[in-house]
């Protein structure tokens, strides 16, 4: 019997494991998931928590209750992949062998750069991030107590999980102080990005630029922060530009897990699993795949992308088990819900080559994003049923 070993119990690991367990009987494939955390968090709702549209307790569930019976969950930390021996070294359970391996350990945050960011986040008085649940809660409370001044949102570097999330925050914050707090005239909004523009894909890029301009959100492009001065409340970039803030929301740099660096031929310089963007196979190993945020696919790191990838990868592994050459390929498709204001959401739906939805804000999209996606995630997506 073949053994599939999945590294990571986030969205990618759970969706793939459950989908395969549903399709392949237990005597046809042994499935093991290694995950160091004992809880699973629904990250797409972090921006909802910031604006009191969801509550933290809805976002966290025990890992053990998410996997189908017949999937072996190992609570441990991976320290190295050993492709030559088809094994993975763990902190507590030693070496675990595999026939097929899937790297699904997601993305982690590097708090060392820009200088001063970590100290500001730890102080949690004027510097915040919503890329963690605790950070989202602190930012929510800070916005409630904010009396006026400059609110800035800055992206440290790309790639990041859900590139649209920082834009969601700044647009929702602008509408929050306009329609909820009623003090829009007392607040200035700044959004910075290391990219040449707010968004890279049309028609969404033009629509977002129009929204930012119409609603008075200042945009600073090509801004890569080098220093966060927590005393003067100033953020500087490597090119000499700077801005002042009274409340800063910052997105830390992302990178892959450090064990990838120790694993021969698996990752790149940023510890992303180095994969073919269509087959999802790592470039140097014929039985090691990558999925989700842990990979270097040239598309957004989102749960919707993971859902598509899990379907494709499940079919590819089933083909392997049948002794057939896999033919299923991933085309980079994702769907990104962008909250533009209260009761309005725009869906950006695209793949590697084309955009597949118009740039339209609607209430129907709001209902789907705010009220329906989380139940769908827990009850259908994670269980491999959609």
| Helix 165-175, helix 204-214: angle, nearest 10 | 30
Residues 115 and 225: their CA atoms lie apart, in Å, by: 9
| Sequence ranges of the domains in the chain | 3-107+256-333, 110-254
Of residues 8, 10, 78, 75, the one with CA closest to residue 258: 78
Domains 3-107+256-333 and 110-254 share a fold: yes
pLDDT tens for each residue of the chain, 386 residues long: 999 999 999 999 999 999 999 999 999 999 999 999 999 999 999 999 999 999 999 999 999 999 999 999 999 999 999 999 999 999 999 999 999 999 999 999 999 999 999 999 999 999 999 999 999 999 999 999 999 999 999 999 999 999 999 999 999 999 999 999 999 999 999 999 999 999 989 999 999 999 999 999 999 999 999 999 999 999 999 999 999 999 999 999 999 999 999 899 999 999 999 999 999 999 999 999 999 999 999 999 999 999 999 999 999 999 999 999 999 999 999 999 999 999 999 999 999 999 999 999 999 999 999 999 999 999 999 999 98
Of residues 105, 39, 102, 35, the one with CA closest to residue 75: 35
Q: In this structure, what is the dihedral angle of CA atoms 193, 197, 201, 205, given to the nearest 10 degrees?
A: 110
Give the per-residue pLDDT at 229.
98
Superfamily in which the 3-107+256-333 domain is placed by CATH: FAD/NAD(P)-binding domain (3.50.50.60)
Q: How many CB atoms sit inside 10 A of residue 147's CB?
A: 9
Q: Under a CB-based contact definition with an 8 Å cutoff, are residues 251 and 154 in contact? A: yes
Give the per-residue pLDDT at 302.
94
Phi then psi dihedrals of residue 226, to 5 deg: -110, -25
CATH classification for the domain delimited by 110-254, as one of 3.10.180.10, 1.10.260.40, 3.50.50.60, 2.40.50.180: 3.50.50.60
Q: Under a CB-based contact definition with an 8 Å cutoff, are residues 8 and 34 in contact? A: yes
The shares of helix, strand and coil residues in the chain, as percent rounded to the nearest 5, are 30, 30, 40
H or E, element range at 305: helix 303-321
Give the per-residue pLDDT at 200.
87
């Amino acid at each position: 019997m073949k053994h599939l070993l999945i590294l990571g119990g986030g969205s990618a690991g759970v969706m793939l494991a459950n989908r395969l367990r549903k399709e392949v009987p237990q005597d046809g494939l042994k499935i093991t998931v290694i995950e160091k955390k004992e809880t699973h968090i629904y990250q797409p709702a972090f921006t909802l928590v910031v604006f009191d549209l969801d509550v933290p307790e809805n976002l966290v569930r025990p890992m053990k209750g998410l996997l189908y019976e017949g999937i072996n969950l190992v609570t441990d930390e991976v320290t190295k992949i050993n492709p030559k021996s088809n094994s993975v070294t763990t902190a507590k359970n030693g070496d675990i062998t595999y026939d097929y391996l899937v790297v699904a350990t997601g993305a982690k945050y590097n708090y060392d750069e820009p200088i001063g960011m970590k100290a500001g986040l730890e102080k949690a008085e004027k510097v915040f991030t919503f890329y963690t649940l605790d950070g989202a809660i602190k930012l929510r409370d800070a916005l409630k107590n904010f009396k006026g001044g400059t609110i800035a949102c800055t992206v440290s570097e790309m790639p990041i999980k859900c590139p649209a999330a920082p834009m969601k925050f700044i647009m929702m914050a602008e509408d929050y102080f306009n329609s909820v707090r009623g003090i829009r005239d007392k607040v200035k909004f700044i959004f910075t990005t290391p990219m040449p523009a707010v968004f890279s894909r049309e028609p969404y890029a033009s629509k977002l630029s129009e929204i930012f301009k119409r609603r008075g959100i200042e945009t600073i492009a090509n801004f890569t922060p080098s220093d966060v001065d927590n005393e003067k409340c100033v953020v500087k970039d490597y090119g000499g530009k700077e801005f002042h803030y009274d409340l800063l929301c910052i997105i830390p740099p992302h990178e892959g897990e450090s064990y990838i660096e120790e694993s021969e031929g698996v990752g790149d310089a940023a510890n992303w699993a180095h994969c073919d963007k269509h087959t999802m196979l790592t470039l140097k190993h014929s039985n090691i795949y990558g999925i989700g945020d842990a990979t270097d696919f040239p598309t957004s790191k989102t749960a919707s992308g993971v859902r598509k990838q899990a379907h494709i990868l499940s079919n590819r592994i089933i083909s392997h088990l049948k002794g057939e050459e896999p033919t299923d390929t991933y085309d980079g498709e994702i769907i990104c819900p962008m909250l533009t204001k209260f009761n309005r959401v725009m869906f950006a739906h695209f793949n590697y080559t084309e955009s597949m939805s118009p740039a339209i804000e609607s209430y129907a999209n709001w209902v789907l994003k705010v009220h329906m996606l989380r139940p769908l995630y827990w009850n259908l997506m994670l269980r491999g049923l959609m």
